[in-house]
Structure 1
Amino acid sequence: MEFPFDLNALLPERISVLDHNLTAGRKSLGRPDPQRQISTVIDELGKASAKAQQLAAPITSAPKLQSNRHHLYLLKEGESNGGRGVAVGFLKVGYKKLFLLDQQGAHVEIEPLCVLDFFVTENLQRHGYGLELFSYMLQHKRVEPVRMAYDRPSPKFLSFLEKHYGLKDSVPQVNNFVVFDGFFRDRSAVQHRKPVPRKVEGEIKPYSLTERDVVREEQKALPWPFARPARPPLSPPLSLPSQYSRSLSVDSSPSRGPPRPCPGPGAYRSQTPHSQYLENVTCRAKRTSSLNRSQISFN
């Protein structure tokens, strides 16, 4: 990919390693700020990579590289374009925390080095540039291809890994990352998390009367102020017996019996207030009736 500026002056090395600072080591030929031109190279290569992979939007750009701790390996061919050089391709890698499944189906929380984007311009493919770029990254990171995770690799990239590194048998995952057989070899046991067994659902029992009685007894045993006192029993309504109601009227009935003597003071100790009240009323009625008779006989 050609650009109107000099790539040899902007990127002095054949393969430049760029990070979030968007600088390729030393400043180029006295230019104080080459970041704008480097950003242009990264953005254009990112658009070409997204088009080749039929993606809706680029996954590699200068702003994204500045906001993440990723490394981008940019390969140039310095003799082309009249000695100004051309951009051949790039490889972006970075560490990501992933939740993967091993061969036994156990969950593994791990943060491996991942290949996030890989692209070589179409007119320069099958010339060994991709292998040169990938081999340089492996030496720079000191990592084996089988120990890396690959984010949504294209069919061409999968063929590339099988041809040059023998990576063929992959371990199925539920996300977009691909790992190959041998990725989980010699992994720390601390990183493995066993799947949580499901609880066996027992028979659902109805809320029996015995359980309700137990709940009532527990509520009775609760300490104050949580215990609820029982309600007092309702007292029967006050009513006067018919025989006392008839005795209140003097000479109201010809068939009344002989008057009973009034009880003494000590007799009220074993009576209720209500019965005492009725006895007092009866005694007063009897005394009044006797007084009226004596007055009639005297006259």
Structure 2
Amino acid sequence: MEVPFDLSTIFNKDSSIERIDQSRLARFTPQRYPALCKAIDRIGALSAKAQNLRKPLTTLDRILDSDDGQILYIYWKKPESSPFSTFIGFIRIARKKLYLRDFDDKQYIAEPICILDFYIHESEQHSEFGHELFEKMLESEGGIDASKIALDKPNETLLNFLKKYYKLENPVWQSTNFVVFPAFFEGIKAEPSNDDDGMHSARSTKRMFQNSRTSSPNNRTRHADAVSSLIHEPELTSPRIKYDPETPRGRKCIRDYGHSNIFG
């Protein structure tokens, strides 16, 4: 994708892959670098189109407005015969705190690198540019292993890419639509099991449901009237509380309801 600007004037000339964090991206304002800013939005739109999404996941504003320190990796080149540059593809990443479960339903809390968007221009998809870009990202983020990343709503193309180049199979889908792979959980400790508490809670809920039903003379069940329960079982209501007028709660009652506490 052509960018009507010589990116070598602001990018590292010795590398085809540029790492741009939020603070640096904020300096590339639309007023000073309109071609670059528009190109980011354009290639984000192409990524959305390739994934059959209604709206782009990657825009300049979305990156700048995020609160998770997003980073954009851009694969670019500057043809010698042209005054302009070319965007080949990009990866957008961020570290996010995730609550994850493995296939055994064990829970983990982790803050991995997350792939939020990944795209190689359709004219270059049969090249190795995607692999080069991904490898550069892994290296730049501390040499992490591909199995230790998380994917945000990956499509089949990305899953096949990771299977081809990194032998990552059997994705573990999360309720949040993030995906990790079984090797992600190797070497990290699971959170303490809450199975006992969960079973106790489930039993308590069942008892509450059963107690909320009464039997009529003809053995047909009916739900207890909640309002009636409140009227005829006053012992279940919360005790009235009087607040010291010198406490924050007391002063709030005075401000809201005058000098008398309507709850008292």
Q: TM-score, normalised by structure 2?
A: 0.68
In 1, Cα distance between the equivalents of 2:155 and 2:179?
Answer: 11
User: Residue 77 of structure 1: CA displacement?
Assistant: 1.9
- The one-letter amino acid paired with 1:58 is P
Identity of aligned residues (%): 31
User: Residue 192 of structure 1: CA displacement?
Assistant: 5.2
Asked if 1:41 is matched to 2:39, the reply is yes
Question: Which residue of structure 1 lines up, in the alignment, with residue 21 of structure 2?
Answer: 19
User: Residue 40 of structure 1: CA displacement?
Assistant: 1.5
Q: Is the 8 A contact 2:51 2:155 kept in 1?
A: yes
Cα distance change of structure 1 residues 6 and 109 upon mapping to structure 2, 3 Å threshold:
same
User: Residue 133 of structure 1: CA displacement?
Assistant: 0.2
The partner residue of 1:64 within 54, 62, 65 is 62
Q: Is the 8 A contact 1:109 1:193 kept in 2?
A: no
In 1, Cα distance between the equivalents of 2:74 and 2:193?
Answer: 38
- The one-letter amino acid paired with 2:65 is S
User: Residue 157 of structure 1: CA displacement?
Assistant: 1.0
Cα distance change of structure 1 residues 46 and 22 upon mapping to structure 2, 3 Å threshold:
farther
Question: Which residue of structure 2 lines up, in the alignment, with residue 156 of structure 1?
Answer: 157
User: Residue 167 of structure 1: CA displacement?
Assistant: 0.3
Q: Is the 8 A contact 1:74 1:87 kept in 2?
A: yes
Cα distance change of structure 1 residues 192 and 154 upon mapping to structure 2, 3 Å threshold:
farther
Structure number with higher strand proportion:
2
User: Residue 165 of structure 1: CA displacement?
Assistant: 0.2
User: Residue 194 of structure 1: CA displacement?
Assistant: 3.3
In 2, Cα distance between the equivalents of 1:185 and 1:24?
Answer: 37
Tell me, which stretches of 5 or more residues in structure 1 are unaligned?
208-218, 220-299
Cα distance change of structure 1 residues 24 and 2 upon mapping to structure 2, 3 Å threshold:
farther
For residues 132-151 of structure 1, the aligned pairs below 5 Å read 132-141=132-141, 142-151=143-152
SS in 1 for 2:18: strand
Question: Which residue of structure 2 lines up, in the alignment, with residue 181 of structure 1?
Answer: 182
In 1, Cα distance between the equivalents of 2:213 and 2:42?
Answer: 69
In 2, Cα distance between the equivalents of 1:62 and 1:4?
Answer: 17
Question: Which residue of structure 2 lines up, in the alignment, with residue 3 of structure 1?
Answer: 3
In 1, Cα distance between the equivalents of 2:177 and 2:80?
Answer: 37
In 1, Cα distance between the equivalents of 2:32 and 2:89?
Answer: 19
- The one-letter amino acid paired with 1:46 is G
Tell me, which stretches of 5 or more residues in structure 2 are unaligned?
215-234, 236-264
User: Residue 39 of structure 1: CA displacement?
Assistant: 1.7
User: Residue 36 of structure 1: CA displacement?
Assistant: 3.5
- The one-letter amino acid paired with 1:102 is D
- The one-letter amino acid paired with 1:16 is E
Equivalent residues, number: 202
- The one-letter amino acid paired with 2:103 is Q
Cα distance change of structure 1 residues 87 and 205 upon mapping to structure 2, 3 Å threshold:
closer
Deviations for 1:146-171, whole angstroms, at most 9, x for unmatched residues? 11111111211111100000001222
User: Residue 182 of structure 1: CA displacement?
Assistant: 1.0
Cα distance change of structure 1 residues 15 and 34 upon mapping to structure 2, 3 Å threshold:
farther
Deviations for 1:185-238, whole angstroms, at most 9, x for unmatched residues? 11134x55534422334575999xxxxxxxxxxx9xxxxxxxxxxxxxxxxxxx
Bigger Rg, which one? 1
- The one-letter amino acid paired with 2:49 is K
Question: Which residue of structure 2 lines up, in the alignment, with residue 84 of structure 1?
Answer: 84
SS in 2 for 1:198: helix
Question: Which residue of structure 1 lines up, in the alignment, with residue 252 of structure 2?
Answer: none
RMSD of the TM alignment (CA)? 2.9
For residues 88-127 of structure 1, the aligned pairs below 5 Å read 88-127=88-127
Question: Which residue of structure 2 lines up, in the alignment, with residue 55 of structure 1?
Answer: 53
